[in-house]
């Protein structure tokens, strides 16, 4: 496995009042790139998104079908577990609520799975109710592979490792199943305001 790349840019700043979680700094105009392995590069014609698991029938969207779904602009602050925060980031994509509309499930958890084998786990209640999106643009431009393109998950109220890059779907589960970083000692939930960085925090 390749080492994490820590493309830290900008100088440390304190950030807007009341919006910087404890232990974080404002990265300013920078946007660090951190990866646990090689960057997958999937062309749109080979990309699809699937909702599977504790559902009556799996649902799959091609690139064209995904783009035909209702889309939303999203402006949010993001917070990385490595201590940087970035404010007023602008994305566009499809709400997870839209993707799960009409899905009948008894599941209480989801596992996001991605190209390259990455996974991360979340309670279903953390990706519904207008809290999470599957996004394919950043700052008005197509999402680059380095930042998770063609599509990534965006769950801005949790540390950014929960916003899985290169996402290909959500698996709904009855039981919580730790994802990649969670099995290596990262916190199972990852609330930046409670500094839930590592297991035991």
- Whether 7 shows a pLDDT value over 60: the answer reads no
Highest CATH level, class, for 25-194: alpha beta
For residues 126 and 116, the answer to whether their CB atoms sit within 8 Å is: no
pLDDT digits (tens, 9 = 90+) for 86-117: 999 999 999 999 999 999 999 999 999 999 99
Give the whole-angstrom CA distance, residue 36 versus residue 92.
Answer: 25
- What pLDDT score was predicted for residue 68? 98
pLDDT at residue 189, rounded to an integer: 97
Max Cα-Cα span within the chain: 50
Cα dihedral sign for 99, 44, 58, 170?
Answer: negative
Residue 179 CB neighbour total at 10 angstroms: 22
- Give the model's pLDDT for residue 4: 36
Confidence grade of residue 12 (pLDDT, cut at 50, 70, 90)? low
Q: Alpha-carbon distance 85 to 200, whole Å?
A: 22
Question: Is the pLDDT score of 13 beyond 80?
Answer: no
The pLDDT score that the predictor gives to residue 15 is 66
pLDDT over threshold 50, residue 146? yes
In the structure encoding, which two tokens stand for residue 141, read together?
Answer: 């431009």
Mean pLDDT for 77-85 is 97
Kindly state the DSSP code that residue 4 receives in the 8-state scheme. P
């Amino acid at each position: 496995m390749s080492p994490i790349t820590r493309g830290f840019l900008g100088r440390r700043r304190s950030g807007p009042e009341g919006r910087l979680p404890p232990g974080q700094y404002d990265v300013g105009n920078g946007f660090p790139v951190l990866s646990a392995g090689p960057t997958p590069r999937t062309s749109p014609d080979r990309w699809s998104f699937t909702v599977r698991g504790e559902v009556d029938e799996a649902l799959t969207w091609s690139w064209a079908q995904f783009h035909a779904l209702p889309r939303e602009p999203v402006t949010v602050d993001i917070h990385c577990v490595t201590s940087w925060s970035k404010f007023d980031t602008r994305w566009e994509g499809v709400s997870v609520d839209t993707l799960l509309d009409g899905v009948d499930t008894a599941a209480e958890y989801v596992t996001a799975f991605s190209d390259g084998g990455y996974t991360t786990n979340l309670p279903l209640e953390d990706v519904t109710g207008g809290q999470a999106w599957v996004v394919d643009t950043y700052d008005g431009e197509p999402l680059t592979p380095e930042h998770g393109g063609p599509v990534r998950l965006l769950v801005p109220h949790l540390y950014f490792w929960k916003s899985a890059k290169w996402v290909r779907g959500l698996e709904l589960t009855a039981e919580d199943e730790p994802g990649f970083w969670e099995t290596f000692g990262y916190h199972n939930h990852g609330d930046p305001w409670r500094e839930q960085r590592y297991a035991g925090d």
